[in-house]
């Protein structure tokens, strides 16, 4: 088994730092994200570079969620 990628919470913290945003909306995605990360570590047989690329891609997706959440919040405020 490969070493763990990183935790879902750590990736969320990275996304928050990189985007400057922290409003996730509904956080029920955290547990399924952790299951996905655990699955990658257990079965994808990623080397160090692969783990870094996977973490960077997931962080990018998490930042997109933060940006979308910001836009949704703006839309609600301006109605």
CA atoms within 13 A on the CB side of 18: 17
Tens digit of each residue's pLDDT (9 = 90 or more) over 7-59: 999 999 999 999 999 999 999 999 999 999 999 999 988 899 999 999 999 99
Model confidence, pTM: 0.88
* Cβ contacts of 44 within 8 Å, gap of 6 or more: 2, 50, 54
């Amino acid at each position: 088994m490969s070493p763990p990628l990183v935790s879902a919470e750590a990736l969320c913290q990275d996304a928050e730092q990189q985007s400057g945003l922290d409003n996730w909306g509904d956080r029920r995605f955290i547990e399924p994200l952790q299951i996905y990360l655990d699955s990658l570590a257990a079965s994808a047989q990623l080397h160090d570079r692969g783990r870094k690329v996977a973490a960077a891609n997931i962080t990018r997706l998490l930042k997109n969620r933060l940006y979308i959440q910001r836009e949704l919040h703006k839309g609600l405020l301006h109605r």
